[in-house]
Chains A and B, each alone.
Chain A
Amino acid sequence: MIKLQLPISEAAIRELKMGDEVLISGLMVTARDAAHKYIHENWPDWLKPIMENSMIYHCGPVVKKHEDGSWSFVAAGPTTSIREEPYEAAVMEYYKVRAVIGKGGMGEKTLAGLAKSGGVYLHAIGGLAASLAKSVVKVKDVYMLEELGVPEAFWHIEVKEFPAVVTMDSHGGSLHKSIKAHSDEVAKKLIFG
Chain B
Amino acid sequence: MFQYDERKLKDQLLELIRLAATDLPKDVVESIQAAHTDEPEGSAAKSVFGMILKNIELARAESTPICQDTGTNIYLVYIPEGVGMRKLTSLIKEATAEAVDKSYLRPNAVDSLTGKNSGNNIGEGQPFIHFEEWDNDFIEFKLMLKGGGCENVSTQYKLPDVGLGAGRDLDGVYKVIVDAVNQAQGLGCAPGILGIGIGGDRAASHLGAKTQLFRKMTDTNSNPDLAVLETKLKGDLNKLGVGPMGFGGNTTVMGVKMGSMHRLPASFFVSISYMCWAYRRHSMTLNIKGEVSYD
Contact = CB atoms under 8 A, between A and B. Distances in A.
B62 interface: yes
A80 B67 contact: no
Which of A21, A59, A103 has the largest number of chain B CB atoms within 10 A? Answer: A103
13 contacts: A62-B70, A76-B68, A79-B148, A103-B189, A103-B245, A104-B149, A126-B67, A128-B51, A130-B65, A131-B55, A179-B186, A179-B248, A191-B179
B51 A131 contact: yes
A113 interface: no
Interface in A152-184: 152, 163, 165, 167, 175-176, 179-180, 182-184
A192 interface: yes
Contacts of B66: 127, 129-130
A47 B287 CA distance: 56
B161 to A, nearest CB: 10
Interface in A1-37: 19, 21, 34
Interface in A127-153: 127-131, 133-134, 149-152
Interface residues of B, number: 56
Given A82-B187, A131-B54, A191-B179, 15 more contacts: A62-B65, A62-B70, A74-B65, A75-B65, A103-B245, A104-B149, A104-B186, A125-B51, A126-B67, A128-B52, A129-B68, A130-B65, A149-B116, A149-B117, A151-B108
B152 interface: yes
B240 A130 contact: no
Contacts of B182: 183-184, 186-187
A84 to B, nearest CB: 14
B106 interface: yes
Contacts of A103: 149, 186-187, 189, 245
Interface residues of A, number: 48
Contact of A104 (B236, B241, B246): B246
Interface of B: 44, 47-48, 51-52, 54-55, 58-59, 62, 64-70, 103, 105-108, 110, 115-117, 119, 147-149, 152, 164-166, 175, 178-179, 182, 185-187, 189, 236, 239-248, 276-278
Contacts of B152: 80
A64 interface: yes
B52 A127 contact: yes
Please classify the interface of chain A as helix (H, G, I), strand (E, B), loop, or mixed, using the class held by over half of its residues. Answer: mixed
Given A75-B67, A191-B164, A80 B55 contact: no
Given A21-B44, A80-B152, A103-B189, A151 B117 contact: yes
Given A127-B66, A187-B240, A180 B185 contact: yes
Contact of A59 (B68, B178, B278): B68
